[in-house]
Amino acid sequence: GKNFDRLCTYSVELTGNNAPKKALLKFEDAPVTPKILENIKKAGYSLPTPIQQWSIPAILHGRDLMACAQTGSGKTAAFLIPVLSLLLADNESLMKASMDLSTPSPLVVILTPTRELALQTHKEIRKFAFQTVIKSCCVYGGVSVNYQLNSMLKGVHVIVGTVGRVSDFTRNGKIDLSHVKYLILDEADRMLNMGFHDEVVALTEKCGGMRSEQRRTMLYSATFPVEIQKLAFDILNDYLFVTVGLVG
């Protein structure tokens, strides 16, 4: 297995209401649905990594989050496990999103800087949402827009995609982001380095606005330069901050 032992210095800023009181040291202690726990086991994960120990409870407590941890520290499951679990508990929204087939209206949007990361994250979604009602689609450039649109028209709860392709779909009015309850920006530092700042802000506006209280928003990044700090301040609402560093 993987060794995450050297990842253990946290800086956790836990302020305001609904801040988790302690780290999640075992997946079984998280209030997630049994099916998701089963899928975590099937993935071969025995213990939460340091970023997962704080990210999972923070999101389950309903807080926005700025999470900073190096590549390979387990950030994908840190947001997928709690978000998919909260989504499964929201039957009413799941049903509504499956019914309206004229315009895909996802409940969860995960933005990535690249196609490879979108595909990789989609694989993880399928793993954690295995044998649940959750429908997910992956969208990225370089392939037919119509093919991707047709698969979303079969009903979609979770869209994972590149900033570029998700922006194309919203600009053309092909997808409706006004029902998004969870917006996740993964590898936010790379997004900004690639010049996507304005697209990210425009998409956040489409997902209910900057610092929306109706939506939960999470930013994940491997580094924490001033541009990311500013983006977090601009788009997150009353957020928690978690960072994991390297010891030794």
232 exposed, middle or buried (CB, 10 Å; 0-12, 13-18, 19+)?
A: buried
Q: For residues 36-75, which are near ligand ADP according to CB under 6 A? A: 45, 47-49, 52, 69, 71-75
| Interface pick for Mg ion out of 63, 75, 115, 181 (rule CB under 5 A) | 75
Closer CB to Mg ion, 75 or 165, in the complex: 75
With contact defined as beta carbons under 8 Å apart, do 7 and 69 qualify? yes
Around Cβ 41, how many Cβ atoms within 10 Å? 12
How many residues interact with ligand ADP (rule CB under 6 A)? 14
Residue 45 contact, options Mg ion, ligand ADP, none, Cβ 5-8 Å cut-off depending on partner type: ligand ADP
Which does residue 79 touch among ligand ADP, Mg ion, none (CB within 5 to 8 A, set by kind)?
A: none
Cα separation, 25 vs 23, whole angstroms: 6
Distance of CA 111 to the CA centre of its chain: 8
Asked whether 114 and 202 are in contact (CB, 8 A), the reply is no
Q: Is 2 in the site for ligand ADP (CB under 6 A)?
A: yes
CB of 138: closest distance to Mg ion in angstroms?
Answer: 15
User: Closer to Mg ion at the Cβ: 156 or 188?
Assistant: 188
Q: Is 33 left (phi over 0), alpha (psi -120 to 50) or beta?
A: beta
Place of tokens 């996740």: 184
Q: Whole-number minimum distance, CB 76 to ligand ADP, in Å?
A: 3
Calculated CA dihedral for residues 53, 55, 58, 63, nearest 10 degrees: 180
User: Least distance (Å) from Mg ion to the CB of residue 9?
Assistant: 19
- Binding residues for Mg ion, total number by CB under 5 A: 1
Smallest gap from Cβ 126 to ligand ADP, in A, equals: 13
Nearest to 106 by CA among 172, 184, 201: 184
2 binds, among ligand ADP, Mg ion, none (CB under 5 to 8 A by kind): ligand ADP
- Given the complex with Mg ion, which of 75 and 216 has the nearer CB atom? 75
Binds ligand ADP (CB under 6 A): choice among 39, 53, 55, 76: 76
When asked if residue 122 is in the footprint of Mg ion (CB under 5 A), the reply is no
Q: Give the whole-angstrom CA distance, residue 187 versus residue 20.
A: 24
Q: Which residues contact Mg ion by CB under 5 A?
A: 75
Q: Which residues contact ligand ADP (rule: CB under 6 A)?
A: 2, 45, 47-49, 52, 69, 71-77
